[in-house]
Amino acid sequence: MAMDRTAYENLLVDEPEPGVAVVTLNRPDSLNSLTFHMFDELFDVAHLLDRDAGLRAIVLTGAGRGFCSGLDLGDAAALPDMDLGQNLDGQEQWARCITAFHTITTPVIAAVNGPAAGAGFALALASDVRIAAPSARFNAAFVRIGLSGGDCGTSYLLPRIVGLGHAAELLFTGRAVGAEEAARIGLVNRVVADEDLLTEALAIARLIAGNSPIGIHLTKQLLSANVDAPSLSTALELENRSQVLAAATDDMREALDAFRAKRAPTFHRR
């Protein structure tokens, strides 16, 4: 992946190893709060990376002491002065920018350090896997500033991750959830030491990158679709189609040959 690290004002993009990109929110002095412009940068980088044929996984994290503290308070102060049309246009765009990481075909791992609040909470939820440091704190901060608790996909994603009861409590109260509680209720996959956070996230990304690109692509599609499947038979129809498609690719042949030969596979397509 050839990318100019200076292409974004508020993001750092790196490829620490082949097939794995790390996107770092880079406004550490404000705990990586999101400006309106930064939403657009997130949307752009998500889709730019998803189009990279050599990329297999994305790690999303924050610089300094925080993952993302939500909407920048300076930009939030402008919301009451917008007319309804302006606010609706903006809201729809901001929601698209956050949920882009959920809708792209490349798996996304959130390495959460410090606060993940408001839109930062939504950004963590939009990721496919969440790893937390002990310093991680999650909350739906929107409801604490006079807005609804559902924003940028939280009312859809959170109940599917932790269940309706936990989601209702968190969205109604806006209270902060620490790392250990987050692990207990299934909000994060695991908690690791702060100094090991990025290492653990990269280890997961490396495992993903070792599987066939078409297999991972189809698996993310299946998870997104079948979490709301109306029946087992509907889910099976989509799974069966995906398996037949994957079986017809060179990816599957290479993966099977490598498994038999006890060697690492070499994939040439996305």
Instruction: Say which residue the tokens 């959920």 belong to.
Output: 102
| Beta carbons of 204 and 129 less than 8 angstroms apart | yes
> Whole-prediction pTM value?
0.92
- Which tens digits make up the pLDDT trace of 126-178? 999 999 999 999 999 888 878 888 999 999 999 999 999 999 999 999 999 99
Closest CA to 196 of 211, 218, 179, 182: 179
Sheet holding 129-132, edge to edge: 11-17, 20-25, 57-62, 108-112, 129-132, 190-191
Give the type of residue at 208.
I
- Which tens digits make up the pLDDT trace of 200-221? 999 999 999 999 999 999 999 9
State the burial class of residue 164 (Cβ atoms within 10 Å of its Cβ: 0-12, 13-18, 19+). exposed
